[in-house]
Chains A and B, each alone.
Chain A
Amino acid sequence: MRENVKKMYDFLLERSFRERRSDKIIDITDLVEGKSEYETQVIRLREMLKNEGTLIYDGDIFGFNRTIKNLPKYNCKDGKKSHTDSTGNITVNFKGAIEKGFDSIIDFCKEKLNTELAESSVNYYNTVIEMLTIVLDFCDRYRDYAKSVGNETLYNALCQIPHGKATCLYEACLLQKIILYMQRLLAHSHTTLGRFDQYMYDYYKMDKEKGLSDEDLLEIIELYFISLNLDTDIYHGVQQGDNGQSMVLGGFDLEGNSMFNELSKLVMEASLELTLIDPKINLRVGKNTPDWLYEYATKLTKKGLGFPQYCNDDIVVPGLTKLGYKKEDVVNYTVAACWEYIIPNCSMDVPNIDTFNFPLVVNNALHAHLKEAESFEALMEFVDKEIRQEVNVIIERHKSNWHNRVYAAPLLSIFVDGCIEQGKDLSEFGAKYNCFGCHGAGIANGADALAAVKKLVYENKEITKDELLNALNSNFEGCEELRNKLLNCSKMGNNDDYVDELGSKIMESFSSEMNGRDNGYGGFWRAGTGSAMEYIWSARKCPATADGKKAGEAYGSSFSPAITTKLNGPLSVIQSFTKFDMTKIINGGPLTMEVHDTVFRNEEGEKKVAALVKAFVHLGGHQLQINSINRERLLDAQKHPENYPNLVVRVWGWSGYFCELDLEYQNHVIRRTEFSV
């Protein structure tokens, strides 16, 4: 790490600068009262930037640091939208903006206004021009400020961008930072960084031709990444760390050629050196991924940041194509804030609009039909029916829900293909794709419950139907023996076809009913294996279930074994969770595994972890998160948080500082499956 980078790095870790931000509340209720959505967006941006100061830290070449913690507030009496409404969780087309600069976007809008247009488009273009002008004015203020404090680097760059196009990697990163900064001010949270190594590659090559070395470029990337971490504590998210600054590296093109390039490697190198939460790295892999890349990526896993998260092109690409996306778009796929596969540049998909609660649906089916089902096969027919019914309830629920989820977002839509061209905001379907995705939480718990019923009630007849239902109704009070029997049945994760086939069955019912269904907005539905925070939230709503889980207890996170399952080990786990054809359930949601950090003690251990990841990919798994975790360290951190300010763990789709998590999440991380030597 170069000295100037080290200086910024230490400055970041020291964190005291965060205390200097203002707590000021900007109330704009009066200003936005009675205004249209577009006007409200303009006011939000203008009032925020009026109040935001220019702030460049010592040695900082990116600036655009927050001086005010809170975004403008408004609570309209008519019950209209509020300041917390946000449109996001997409990957915009950074490349388009970086190649053009904002002046040319304004020119384009002006030209459009000279043509015959619908009134809505006139409003749209005027709004875009107004907002970009506010942004440019602010950037000009920054430029002048940079000059006044003698920051020549930033000053020179701001003379070029964002008015004009970027001419080098540094300017391209800075322009991206400005876009992200502005979007955050309008609560467009979770706009991810996408395929940074692809759209920045031309700038990397340009700089190399100009004579810059990889070390010079690494310095820029590292300073940029540090800059992305400065204000993460005030970003909007469910928990701190859940901010969407994720990045996707590598992958294969339509002909199957690897797209992992020198820049991809440099990004990983920067991440390895910095060990910072952001950006979170996703690595696209496939059957032709070389061993060295898995091994290099494992070095990153070893750092304990919870990434890279692996996505398997061999499964994701055909899966998304089957759903209805164009192959040339699919090949560019990225990952949303957590793990949902999304199409960058041209989509306004809402991949997390709802959650299918597997344990609850299975449980409801048991309560309703166990008595009448004379055979297990008959019971499974009821389960299938209930699952399909619930899918339809979900689809119906969101038939008129678009505008409750996708609010006017002119500043965001500028960077999404199709919006500017058509004069249509994202909320007005300016994007090419407008699909809905549904998580599937607790698949393993659902399958485990069915396996226990099959074994104990129907095959062995050890438990009567009434005994089971009574035990469930009483949350196993006084039924410890019965509960132990349930707990000791076959569980997903142990490579036992007995239960894994039931998992496949319920996934089939869910996905075949949901996939491709019209969402009412020209888009289609996509079924997935993720849970997000739902492994805790949905679980709270779930009573005791036949896998032995007590009421309210958490499910396994995303596509993972139930928390209480006694596992044979990771080889069984990866086989259990790759039996179903994962191209059929491809909204996203990883298998999550914790590997004790002692496994990584030496290079040999690293290679073996890499081999495990490779095996998962070759078995047809779609997504894998593998974490290095030391239980003792986590327990100690709970007791002495003051000693662990920088301990990072992956919580669901994102990484966070362990000590800043709610106790419930901390405990969950500790309880998660852990494999060690």
Chain B
Amino acid sequence: MAKITGNVFSIEEFSTFDGPGIRETVFLKGCPLKCMWCHNPEGQSFESMVVRSPNGCLNCGACLKKGEEITGKSCLVKESIAVCPRNLVRICGEVKTAEELVSIISKNITILNASGGGVTFSGGEPLSQHKFLLECLKLLKDKTNRAIQTTGYTSESVFREVLSECDFVLYDLKLMDNDKHKYYVGGSNENILRNYSILASSGKDFITRIPLIPTVNDTAENIEATAKFMNKNKVSKVEILPYNKMAGGKYKLIGKEYKPEFDGNIEPNPHKDIFEKYGIEVKVL
């Protein structure tokens, strides 16, 4: 039987906000959602892609010419990597077996563990590659602390299965109103909210996170609904990630334009008072 493989678009060794201790964060490629503020746009598609860093580009066109030679149209191809005079072209998304990925992580496990840290699988949406994810989590069992950073956008059975194999969960709650959720996030929040309840009653260590986007989900109405929902699930802690103006930084890399429909210059309002009304402790990161 062929080994299960996954597509990894980045591994960060010293991630300090993805769980307890020093985290090695693995970014799995592909996401079924499409948040308007996504700061990892290169992680949205499920396929590997050739990307070009815009900083320092001489616009010499050698990379695109190579694409034209091979495909007949001006585009980036794998062969473009070698011809860039500044070495700015690279592959985003490498296919690896679970064993390969775990052996990379293993090199750092002593340091990760010594700091009380471990591995965090992020994305994209890591649950979208759940078979690969499960395989990795199983191989890492009892070796280090295993966390996932997820939107929870998946079926109940997949969620339960993955949950049973991880030690810590970072769970995003973005918008409570389903229509708005569909518009801004690109999918329904029904399974997200259902899986959240499963997580909250599972006894697993987890943290709820809200990426706070000005005028989109920092409204009193949405915060009230979120706090109420968390309170119903007996959750008493939340971490707020205020919108980062650097979010658009990587769109050029994949040849896209960042066009949010909200004003990123507005300082989002975390409405701490509302959370506190529901007995929820707020930490702004």
Do the beta carbons of B87 and A487 come within 8 Å of each other? yes
Which A577-604 residues have a C-beta within 8 angstroms of B? Answer: 595, 599, 601-602, 604
Q: Does B108 contact A (CB under 8 A)?
A: yes
Q: Which residue of B lies closest to A602 (CB)?
A: B285
11 additional A-B residue pairs with CB within 8 Å, beyond A571-B22, A604-B16 = A480-B84, A564-B87, A569-B13, A569-B14, A571-B107, A595-B14, A608-B22, A608-B115, A611-B116, A615-B114, A677-B17
Given contacts A571-B24, A571-B108, A611-B21, contact A481 B14 (CB under 8 A): no
**Interface positions of B (Cβ within 8 A of A):** 11-17, 21-22, 24, 62, 81-85, 87, 107-108, 111-112, 114-117, 285
**Cβ-defined partner of B111 (8 Å) among A480, A485, A601, A615:** A615
Q: Which residue of A lies closest to B111 (CB)?
A: A615
A and B contact pairs by CB, cutoff 8 A, 13 listed: A480-B85, A484-B82, A569-B11, A569-B14, A570-B14, A571-B13, A571-B24, A571-B111, A571-B112, A612-B22, A614-B115, A615-B115, A677-B15
Which residues of B are found within 8 Å of A487, using beta-carbon distances? Answer: 87
Least CB distance, A673 to chain B, in whole angstroms: 12
Which residues of A are found within 8 Å of B115, using beta-carbon distances? Answer: 608, 611-612, 614-615
Q: Which residue of B lies closest to A595 (CB)?
A: B14
Q: Does A213 contact B (CB under 8 A)?
A: no
Do the beta carbons of A612 and B87 come within 8 Å of each other? no
A595 to B15, CA, bound (A): 11
Q: Does A644 contact B (CB under 8 A)?
A: no
Which residues of A are found within 8 Å of B15, using beta-carbon distances? Answer: 677
A612 to B21, CA, bound (A): 10
Q: Which residue of A lies closest to B15 (CB)?
A: A677
Q: Which 7 A-B pairs have the closest CB atoms?
A: A569-B13, A611-B115, A571-B13, A480-B85, A571-B108, A615-B111, A608-B16
Q: Which residue of B lies closest to A593 (CB)?
A: B14
Given contacts A488-B87, A571-B22, A612-B14, contact A601 B108 (CB under 8 A): no
Which residues of A are found within 8 Å of B285, using beta-carbon distances? Answer: 601-602
A487 to B62, CA, bound (A): 18
A611 to B23, CA, bound (A): 11
Given contacts A484-B84, A572-B108, contact A611 B11 (CB under 8 A): no
Which residues of A are found within 8 Å of B62, using beta-carbon distances? Answer: 480
Q: Does A575 contact B (CB under 8 A)?
A: yes
**Cβ-defined partner of A570 (8 Å) among B13, B17, B84, B117:** B13
Which residues of B are found within 8 Å of A602, using beta-carbon distances? Answer: 285
Given contacts A602-B285, A611-B21, A612-B22, contact A568 B13 (CB under 8 A): yes
A599 to B12, CA, bound (A): 13
Q: Which residue of B lies closest to A610 (CB)?
A: B115
A569 to B117, CA, bound (A): 16
Least CB distance, A568 to chain B, in whole angstroms: 6
A112 to B62, CA, bound (A): 79
A574 to B111, CA, bound (A): 10
Least CB distance, A657 to chain B, in whole angstroms: 26
Least CB distance, B249 to chain A, in whole angstroms: 11
Do the beta carbons of B87 and A608 come within 8 Å of each other? no
Do the beta carbons of B84 and A608 come within 8 Å of each other? no
Q: Does A511 contact B (CB under 8 A)?
A: no
Which residues of B are found within 8 Å of A483, using beta-carbon distances? Answer: 85, 87
Q: Does A605 contact B (CB under 8 A)?
A: yes
A581 to B93, CA, bound (A): 36
Do the beta carbons of B82 and A481 come within 8 Å of each other? yes
Least CB distance, B170 to chain A, in whole angstroms: 13
A124 to B21, CA, bound (A): 60
Given contacts A481-B82, A605-B17, A608-B16, contact A572 B22 (CB under 8 A): no
